Chain A
Amino acid sequence: MAGLAAVCLAAWWAFARLGREAEDETWARVREEGVLRVGLDPSWPPFEYVEDGQIVGFDVDLAREIGRRLGVEVVLVNVGFDALYDALQVGRFDAIVSALPYDPARTKDVAYSISYFNAGQALVVRADEGQIKGAKDLAGRRLGVEWGSEGDAQARKLQKKIKGLTLRPYMATEEALQALKSGEVDAALVDAVSALQFMGREGGVKIVGHPLTDELYVIAVRPESHALLRAINEALAEMREDGTLARLREQWF
């Protein structure tokens, strides 16, 4: 009896899911045509930018990998950033993959995937640093920032809360990170992308603790594209699990 109930429940679940998938016209069309159209603005290296007439970047490879796992080809649609949401709504493409920050104010208008990257402010220390594990360990320390940046603004807030924290401003993020590497400062507060790029290029430093701010990059679809969103989320989860996301990061940063 219990077995019969389980079978009925499973069957109900499968039919319900198939029914919902059938309601997702975007997903149905993507599967039928074998094409996923992705909107992006190639003005955000290394996520998407134009090189030798081609759009390349982390997001391009991410979208193509998602497409591969979904069994569809990915077609890129180039749209200015400010028009991405409107263009998605009117059906110019099926998903936005464009270093798109999660916006809680738009959750009625679009459906967002799980986050695949956090571009917020990161605390960076030398690779052999053992004592500074987060912002709370900065008391009495010297913190390098790019003058005028978001990191600078966040550091000034920290300075009001952390005793003896000294700020050293530099004219470029690169200079702040070089100062860290050379020992001129004990830590640097910079955006995560710059930190990863420096780590990839120069080494000798590492990111510690949680990001001080969040800028979560997500994929957006129309609210009714729930089956497509589920498929994208499953692909992202797999990519995180099997190391593909990490490999993409190493390749592009």
Chain B
Amino acid sequence: MSTTKRIYGIYADDDDLMHAVKMCNENGIKIHEVYTPFPVHGLDKALGLRKTRLSDAAFIYAVYGVLVGSLLTWYTMNHDWPMNIGGKPAFTWAENMPAFVVPMFELMVFCAAHMMSLTFLVRNKMYPMAPPQNPDPRTTDDKFLMEFVSEDVDTIKQILIDTGVEEITVKEA
């Protein structure tokens, strides 16, 4: 049997939680995960999480959307079947492009928004009917849960008690 345990510390207040995170950092204790009912300001920085690259992905998706829009309008209006509509003939895509700005813009927003949301779900391993990822149902209500995976149960317990923890659970990892 391994001596590694899974430790849950439940807090009732976000300020206490932030204090506990700082204490753990000072004592060099690795926090496995923190579950909160709402985005706690500054928590990601305190935990040393890197900036998410979701917005970079969104930019790429947006560029993709513009490309799709350009290709679609060029192929249908200038290449495959050029038409003279209302005395305004199709010459080159560059000359006709101002009329295509709206669909190109809409396709950009469409691709960026949908593909970014899909990326968000995939990266978080979220899908319909997925089992809840939080270990305690109270963390979507008003409790803040710190999760540790460690052998050093006593030190962690002491820090949690010192920072005003409400409840500690120790489980086999």
Whether A associates with B in a native complex is: no
Footprint of B on A, CB under 8 Å?
none
